[in-house]
Structure 1
Amino acid sequence: MVRMKDKSVDLTPPPEVASVAERGLELRRKYKRGGTNVGVARARDLKGRKSLSPQTIKRMVNFFDRQEVHKQDENFGNEDDPSPEYVGWLLWGGDPGRRWAQQKKDELTESASRPKN
């Protein structure tokens, strides 16, 4: 929970995001590809539903913005022969993680930009 000027923002990943990150870890273990050490650490935090920092939320949004292009790659989304980029995407929480991180970034930005009364 992060206390902003006028409200608190819960930065605890929801169960759906934790589940996708866990799947990413499973695929990485099974196929021995995808993701970086940072991605693995992110997946562990998401899987454990550890409250993240505002900076980490911004990093997540930036990651997804950079990696969106890979959704067109061959085997992106293929659970039987996943591309390394797909595994990396899942490690960061996949599509649910992207939506959640963007929502939290928006909440943090909105709260920070409100004038004090």
Structure 2
Amino acid sequence: MSSEDLSLRPPEIVAQNAAKALRLREQFGRGGTEVGVARAMELSERRTLPPSTIRRMVSYFARHEVDKKGKNFFNAENPSAGYIAWMLWGGDEGRAWAIELKKRIGNAPDIG
């Protein structure tokens, strides 16, 4: 697999979701951890991510899928902390992107 075949750079929609979450976190004063904020910064800036980060994203989404059942997860006027945190990691599009990439990269080591 060459780097031309596979991009570890987040898609634009994932970057947009992360940027939106950073704005929501600022506006509402809740949602996510410092790790989630750091991830949102990487995603929103469309930085190329190492394989280990892709795997962490997949793990995050697996653990937090349950947050979608929480109060106000889908409330645009008053989003839950869980919604904001989910979006910090790229939202549903980030989840789909990370899962697909993980299938392709497997246990590839980080380079650098």
Q: TM-score, normalised by structure 2?
A: 0.91
Between the two proteins, the alignment pairs up a number of residues equal to 106
Query: Which of 45, 56, 77 matches 2:42?
Result: 45
Task: For 1:19 and 1:40, locate their aligned partners in 2 and report how far apart those are by CA, in whole Å.
Answer: 14
Task: In structure 2, give the amino acid aligned to 1:66.
Answer: R
- What is the aligned-residue RMSD (CA, Å)? 1.2
Match of 1:29 in 2: 26
Match of 2:100 in 1: 103
Instruction: Report the Cα offset of residue 7 of structure 1.
Output: 2.8
Report Cα offsets for 1:28-82 as digits up to 9, x if no partner.
0000000000000000000000000100000000000000011011100212111
Q: Which runs of structure 1 show a deviation greater than 3 angstroms over 4 or more consecutive aligned residues?
A: none
The gaps in structure 1 that reach 5 residues or longer are: 1-5, 113-117
Task: In structure 2, give the amino acid aligned to 1:108.
Answer: I
Where do residues 80-91 of structure 1 align in structure 2 (5 Å cutoff)? 80-91=77-88
Instruction: Report the Cα offset of residue 102 of structure 1.
Output: 0.5
Bigger-Rg structure (1/2): 1
Task: For 1:40 and 1:72, locate their aligned partners in 2 and report how far apart those are by CA, in whole Å.
Answer: 22
Q: TM-score, normalised by structure 1?
A: 0.87
Query: Which of 65, 72, 75 matches 2:72?
Result: 75
The gaps in structure 2 that reach 5 residues or longer are: none
